[in-house]
Amino acid sequence: MTARVAWIVVMAQLTTTAAHADPVEDRALAHLDRGVAAFRAGDFARARAEVAEAQRLAPDRPNPYRWLAKTEAELGDCRSALVHIESFLSRVPADDPRVTEVIAVRDRCVSTGTLRVDSTPSGAAIHVDGGAAISRTPTPDLAIGVGMHRLTVAKPGYVAQQAPLEVRAMGVTYAHYTLVAERAERPVHRRWWFWAAAAAVAITAGGVTYALTRDGDARLPPVICDAGGCHP
């Protein structure tokens, strides 16, 4: 094949590729790429927005559903994640290498619930099953394993509160606590028993003084007054 003929073939291939290029799919791929980058950076809200746009532009492509499911699981929206997991699985063969990853997300969703905790006043530490504090009120959505847990809410200066709590799969469990301030130690002179004791002491002292005075008056010698003055 001469160089001229080879050049004609290459140009024909490029022309065919350009003719079949889909600008909508290109935009979808650009949104998906930005969504994946945001997901890996931990910006899940932006990742969901970008991947959702990719899914809207290319609804028949499986990969946007996969990334939507992963993103929504991170955001605690397992109900939506499960819908997109099924959409992905219905668009790929069973031996697709991405299936294992998506099924793991599904398993995590069906065994995890979402917990939201608030308190009055806010800023209380949240402990689950006696462990270290995992957050402070008001919380963002916390991913917690389904089942019964013991929740402790504690804040300095307030009485800690404990309560059993059941977390259910694919739902949101809400908990609100009103904390009661601890009683501060009052000065001795502000306690009721101090004044009761003081009153008892005063009454007893008064009685003793009266008795001594009365008895003393009875024992004093008579006073006699004459021209020379008064003397016992």
List pLDDT tens digits, range 74-106.
887 888 999 999 999 999 999 999 999 999 999
The predicted pLDDT at position 227 comes to 55
Residues 104 and 118 in one domain: no
With 0.85 as the threshold, say if the pTM is over it.
Answer: no
Residues 200 and 217 grouped into a single domain = yes
Q: Using the 8-state DSSP alphabet, how is residue 181 labeled? A: B
- Give the pairing type, strands 229-231 and 224-226: antiparallel
Could you say which DSSP state residue 232 is in? -
CATH of the domain at 83: 1.25.40.10
The answer to whether position 183 is within a domain reads no
Task: With H, G, I as helix, E, B as strand and everything else as coil, classify residue 119.
Answer: strand
Q: Is 100 exposed, middle or buried (0-12, 13-18, 19+ CB in 10 A)?
A: exposed
Give the span between the Cα atoms of 232 and 227, in whole angstroms: 14
* Weakest mean pLDDT among 40-49, 103-112, 143-152, 198-207: 198-207
Cβ atoms within 10 Å, residue 132: 7
One domain, residues 150 and 119: yes
Give me the pLDDT at residue 168, please.
85
**Longest distance between any two alpha carbons in the chain, whole Å:** 168
Instruction: Say yes or no to pLDDT of 216 above 50.
Output: no
Q: Find out whether 86 and 106 touch, Cβ atoms under 8 Å.
A: no
pLDDT at 9: 52
CA distances from 149 to 28, 41, 133, 198 (A): 43, 32, 14, 51
The boundaries of the domain holding residue 199 are 188-231
Unique residue bearing structure tokens 């006043």: 121
